[in-house]
Amino acid sequence: MNYALKERIAEVKGQLTSQDILVFEFDSLAGKKFACIYADGIVDKNLIGELIAKPLRAAREEDGAQEIKKLLAAPEVEDGKDIKGCIKSISDGNAALFIDGEEDFFIVGVKNPPGRAVAEPPTQIAVKGPREGFTEDIKVNLGLVRKRIKTKNLQIKTTTVGKQSETAVAICYIEGVCRKGLPEKIEKQIKSKEIDIVPDSSYISGFIARRPRSLFKRNATAEKPDIFCAKLCEGRVGIISDGSPIAITVPYTLTEDFQTAEDYYTVSYRATILRVLRLTAVLIGILLPAIYVCAQLFKIQLIPAKLLFKIASSVAGIPLSPSVEIFFALFVLEVLNEASIRMPKYVGLALSVVGALVLGDTAVKAGIISTPAVIIIAFSAICLYTVPDFVETSTTLRLVFLILAGSIGTFGVVLAAAFTMCYLVTEQSYGAPLLSPYAPLVAKDMRDALYKSNMGALNTRPKVMKTKNKVRLKENGR
Amino acid sequence: MDDKISVRQICFILFAYNAANKMLLYPSFAANAAGNALAFPVLFDVLLQAVIIWSVAFLSSRTDKSFFGLMEDTFGTVAAKIVYALFALYFLLSAIIPINEQQLLVHDSFYDTLPSLWIFLPFFIFAVYAGVKSLTNVGRCADLCLPIFIFCAFGFIAMGAAGANFNNLLPVLKQPFSKVAGLSLGSLYRFSESALLLIFMGHYKYKKGDAAKMTLSYIAGGLTVAAFMTIFYCVYGSLTPTRSFALSNISVFFPTISYVGRIDLFLLYAFDIVALFAAVLNVQAFVHCLCKAFGKNFRIIYSLAANVSLIAIMFAVNNNFIALQQAAAKWFWIPAAVFAYLIPLLAWVLRRKPR
């Protein structure tokens, strides 16, 4: 076989025809020829110089591949197997090192894809507690996890998903804590899906959900490594997808959305008050527009007399019926919400002023919608954002309740509540009932549900996780 | 489909659902029949039924088998299927009064103007959906309903007590015994939860003391109803029979209501969630019995059949509920006595292997 460098380069370039695949050819002082093939933009060229080219200047003409490998200063050097593997490694951001006249080649880890630095995530902000957030780089994210969980029991299984993207996905769990067989089951489910590209971890959520069309999600999300690690220690499995700053954890219970990291960094009384507040706010956010419509259309007694007079004077002359009026206000709110997210930052500011102040104020003054409708919709929106992880579901539920309130009335709202309860109690995420610890009632887990007990009382892992090792806090010497 | 239910959940059903079903129209009906002695028949019926509940629960301590299994062992599969089909019919019959009371409550208390009967039809969509669910679902719903029930029921009692005149109960023994006994017999069909417990047999794991827990839960539910009815009578006195729905009337004299509006209606709506689950429990039991008798493949058909029948009955008795209630008081005690009193006691003679 002929292993002339030019032909090896041509062979690789024949497969990787894109112009961003670069070839760096260099010689040693003794005249030995080498070629480094890499993808521009995702490797650190300085590392190629420092870890590959510089040490190889000492290579002698008679040195074989293994001698040359010993000269390399890079910590990640793998023997290349075949051209297919070589191409995959180059696409991943590694460099392939070819030696003139040698059959063997090496894959050198010099990956440095562009990415942002570790920063505080935009959601899951905490006043107290760690501020580091996940980034789009899986290696950085795994590093952040490893930084917090130093036990040898932390297991990270990596796999790739996506026919075109070949996105790396890491399944993290703690051996001996996590339920046996669960990581394997998740891995199997992820691998069973063939898709072109996995741009975000939400795709993985879709893959592992038992009912992907459900309104209620089946996994929790974490943007902060401290939350992610705490969940691993509870016996959950964490999934980190390359290119996504949002990790997902399963099994999931609905209670998780109402907990924040800060609950664990503050006194338990305060945490309990905040959890009750969040639950109340979400219930108000979902039901308030519906109840307002019901009160106006079907059961006027629901409104106290004095308030009723105020509302009556506000709605007098409004051309829309209460339900259409609330729908209209809700529609405007959703449009403003959507536009303010998508608009550039500076235009967004102007949009807030125009939308909230000018449009809202003018609409009320023009008598198109009433002041109570604006107040109710605004308050409902604020209430729902007290639990941002649940907002996708809660806004949809608000709409469903509103439609039922406008068509069937109060009974429709009550019936929808019963229906939702009946639906939710049988739903589960990897064996954990979605509504636990409330239904089924798990007394021990209630210590960290709506009521947040002090740290000493949270001495066992959640029972619904069915962990092997149940104790998480032992007090020695007492 | 998993059909496991825990003893705790059964206790919640015996407490909350048992009471919720009897707090709609029954208080004014009882007041009409027995005046200020309206709570005595409740206490008598509760105690009588509690004995049967204890008996069925205690029977569970002697066998892991379901009632169907016991029937099968003693009389063979065909006989067991026939008995379960009869139980299914009984549960369908038992569903008529609660669902019609629910419909009347909705028409009376959920709307300012009387809506069409069609407005209640979405309930049956819920009933079909809930009907196909397993006993596990029934139990978990009870877990959720218990705190709602406690909050609402005791809220009503507390608000009602604020406007109650306890002199209305005097003299305590004013009513003749025949009226009290008549109401007791006429209410027997309302106190028939032991039939449900018989169906739950074999689907829960009995532990020592569970019979006492279930019996006490049932008695607690009964006492809550008795307390609620007594307070209701204290609020309205001899006018009580004219106030159809205790839930929407008991707290109107609570002082805060005049300042903040009808907050008690929010309690009523929350309470109604529990009442809805209590009303569909009989449909769920109907489907469960038919599944045992004829297989699980037609679960949705059974649920649909039950609900179509109930819709037909609802339209048939429209505006004639009082006649239905009087007929129920006169005749429904017979099937109740057979299925909720006699058969649970006879279950002891069925052949069973020791645990």
Average pLDDT, integer, range A248-268: 92
Q: Which residue has the higher pLDDT, A353 or B183?
A: B183
Average pLDDT, integer, range A19-33: 92
Q: Do B143 and A438 touch (CB under 8 A)?
A: yes
Residue A348 has pLDDT above 80, yes or no: no
Residues β-bridged to residue A36: A24, A97
Chain B residue closest in CA terms to A413: B269
Percentage of chain B beyond pLDDT 70 is: 98
Residue A471 has pLDDT above 60, yes or no: yes
- Specify the pLDDT at position B172: 78
Around Cβ A52, how many Cβ atoms within 10 Å? 24
Residue A321 has pLDDT above 70, yes or no: yes
Give the C-alpha separation, A425 to A64, whole Å. 67
Expressed in angstroms, the distance from the first to the final Cα of chain B is 25
Expressed in angstroms, the distance from the first to the final Cα of chain A is 74
| Chain A residues near residue B13 by CB distance under 8 angstroms | none
Q: What average pLDDT is seen over chain A?
A: 90
Question: Which of the residues B4, B103, B110, B277 would you substitute to probe the A interface, choosing the one with the greatest number of A C-beta atoms within 10 Å?
Answer: B110
DSSP state of A361: H
- Å between B65 CA and nearest CA of chain A: 23
Look at chain B and count its residues.
Answer: 355
- Å between A303 CA and nearest CA of chain B: 6
Residue A414 has its nearest CB partner, among B115, B144, B269, at B269
Q: Which residues of A243-255 are buried (b: 16+ CB within 10 A; e: fewer)?
A: bbbbbbbbbbbbb
Residues β-bridged to residue A168: A160
Average pLDDT, integer, range A13-27: 91
Q: Find where tokens 């009967």 sit.
A: B117
| Chain A residues near residue B136 by CB distance under 8 angstroms | 426
Q: Kind and range of the H or E element at A5?
A: helix A5-15
Least Cα distance to A172 among A193, A192, A151 occurs for A151
- Å between B284 CA and nearest CA of chain A: 12
| Chain B residues near residue A437 by CB distance under 8 angstroms | none
Task: Count contacts between A and B (CB, < 8 Å).
Answer: 94
Q: Do A304 and B9 touch (CB under 8 A)?
A: no
- Specify the pLDDT at position B2: 62
Collapsing DSSP to helix, strand or coil, A79 comes out as: strand
| Chain A residues near residue B277 by CB distance under 8 angstroms | 418, 422
Question: Which of the residues A255, A300, A422, A444 would you substitute to probe the B interface, choosing the one with the greatest number of B C-beta atoms within 10 Å?
Answer: A422
Distances from the Cα of B119 to the Cα of A375, B21, B111, B284, angstroms: 30, 21, 11, 23
Six token digits for residue B290: 């038919």
Distances from the Cα of B124 to the Cα of A57, A415, B311, angstroms: 83, 10, 8
Give the C-alpha separation, A231 to A363, whole Å. 47
In sequence order, which ranges of A16-137 are alpha helices (DSSP H)? 45-47, 54-56, 65-71, 83-92
The set of residues, in sequence order, having a beta carbon less than 8 Å from that of A55 and lying 6+ positions away, is: A71, A72, A73
Average pLDDT, integer, range A23-41: 92
Give the C-alpha separation, A175 to B140, whole Å. 31
Q: Do B273 and A409 touch (CB under 8 A)?
A: no
pLDDT grade for A474, boundaries at 50, 70 and 90: confident
| Chain B residues near residue A287 by CB distance under 8 angstroms | none
Residue type, A478: R
| Chain A residues near residue B276 by CB distance under 8 angstroms | 414-415, 418
| Chain A residues near residue B269 by CB distance under 8 angstroms | 410, 413-414
Give the C-alpha separation, A457 to A466, whole Å. 19
- Å between B145 CA and nearest CA of chain A: 9
Long-range contacts of B156-159 (CB under 8 A, 24+ apart): B156/B228, B156/B247, B156/B250, B156/B251, B156/B264, B156/B267, B156/B271, B157/B224, B157/B227, B157/B228, B157/B231, B159/B250, B159/B251, B159/B254, B159/B257, B159/B264, B159/B267
Least Cα distance to A102 among A21, A206, A4, A32 occurs for A4
| Chain B residues near residue A410 by CB distance under 8 angstroms | 110-111, 269
* pLDDT tens digits, one per residue of A52-108: 999 999 999 888 889 999 999 999 999 988 888 899 899 888 999 999 988 889 999
Question: Which of the residues A308, A413, A425, A438 would you substitute to probe the B interface, choosing the one with the greatest number of B C-beta atoms within 10 Å?
Answer: A425
Give the gyration radius of chain A's Cα atoms: 29
Give the C-alpha separation, B54 to B77, whole Å. 27
Which one of A170-184, A330-344, B169-183 scores highest in mean pLDDT?
A170-184
Residues of chain B short of pLDDT 70, as ranges, are: 1-2, 352-355
Collapsing DSSP to helix, strand or coil, A406 comes out as: helix
By CB neighbour count within 10 A (0-12 exposed, 13-18 middle, 19+ buried), where does A366 fall?
Answer: exposed
| Chain A residues near residue B129 by CB distance under 8 angstroms | 419, 422-423
Within 13 Å of residue A345, how many CA atoms lie on the same side as its CB? 0
Q: Do B140 and A302 touch (CB under 8 A)?
A: no
Task: List residues in chain A touching B: CB distance below 8 A.
Answer: 298-305, 307-308, 408-415, 417-419, 421-423, 425-426, 433, 435, 438-441
Q: Do A303 and B261 touch (CB under 8 A)?
A: yes
Q: Do A409 and B119 touch (CB under 8 A)?
A: yes
> What residue segments make up the domains of chain A, in order of their start?
5-108, 115-252+455-478, 278-426
Least Cα distance to B97 among B258, B293, B333 occurs for B333
Chain B residue closest in CA terms to A442: B143
DSSP letter for each residue of A191-225? HT---S---SHHHHHHHH-SSTT-SS-SSEEESSH
Around Cβ A338, how many Cβ atoms within 10 Å? 10
Chain B residue closest in CA terms to A417: B273
Q: Which residue has the higher pLDDT, A477 or B3?
A: B3
Collapsing DSSP to helix, strand or coil, A71 comes out as: helix
ipTM over 0.90 threshold: yes
Give the lowest-confidence range in A348-362, A442-456, B40-54, B279-293. A348-362
Give the C-alpha separation, A220 to A21, whole Å. 39
* pLDDT tens digits, one per residue of A215-242: 999 899 999 999 999 999 999 999 999 9
Question: Which of the residues B104, B109, B140 would you substitute to probe the A interface, choosing the one with the greatest number of A C-beta atoms within 10 Å?
Answer: B140
If phi over 0 gives left and psi between -120 and 50 gives alpha, with beta otherwise, what is residue A36? Answer: beta
Percentage of chain A beyond pLDDT 70 is: 99
Least Cα distance to A472 among A266, A181, A462, A464 occurs for A462
Around Cβ A397, how many Cβ atoms within 10 Å? 22
Chain A residue closest in CA terms to B263: A302
Q: Do A414 and B110 touch (CB under 8 A)?
A: yes
| Chain A residues near residue B281 by CB distance under 8 angstroms | none
* pLDDT tens digits, one per residue of A277-299: 999 999 999 999 999 999 999 98
Contact B144, B130 (CB under 8 A): no
Around Cβ A377, how many Cβ atoms within 10 Å? 26
| Chain B residues near residue A305 by CB distance under 8 angstroms | 261
- Å between B34 CA and nearest CA of chain A: 32
By CB neighbour count within 10 A (0-12 exposed, 13-18 middle, 19+ buried), where does A45 fall?
Answer: middle
Collapsing DSSP to helix, strand or coil, A98 comes out as: strand
Contact B332, B189 (CB under 8 A): yes
Distances from the Cα of A478 to the Cα of A203, A460, A474, B4, angstroms: 48, 17, 10, 41
Q: Do B122 and A412 touch (CB under 8 A)?
A: yes
Q: Kind and range of the H or E element at A433?
A: strand A432-433
Q: What average pLDDT is seen over chain B?
A: 92
Residue A421 has its nearest CB partner, among B6, B8, B144, at B144
- Specify the pLDDT at position B355: 52
* pLDDT tens digits, one per residue of A376-427: 999 999 999 999 999 999 999 999 999 999 999 999 999 999 999 999 998 9
Contact B314, B21 (CB under 8 A): no
Chain B residue closest in CA terms to A287: B266
pLDDT grade for A473, boundaries at 50, 70 and 90: confident
* pLDDT tens digits, one per residue of B113-161: 888 888 999 999 999 999 999 999 999 999 999 999 999 999 999 999 9
Contact A461, A177 (CB under 8 A): yes
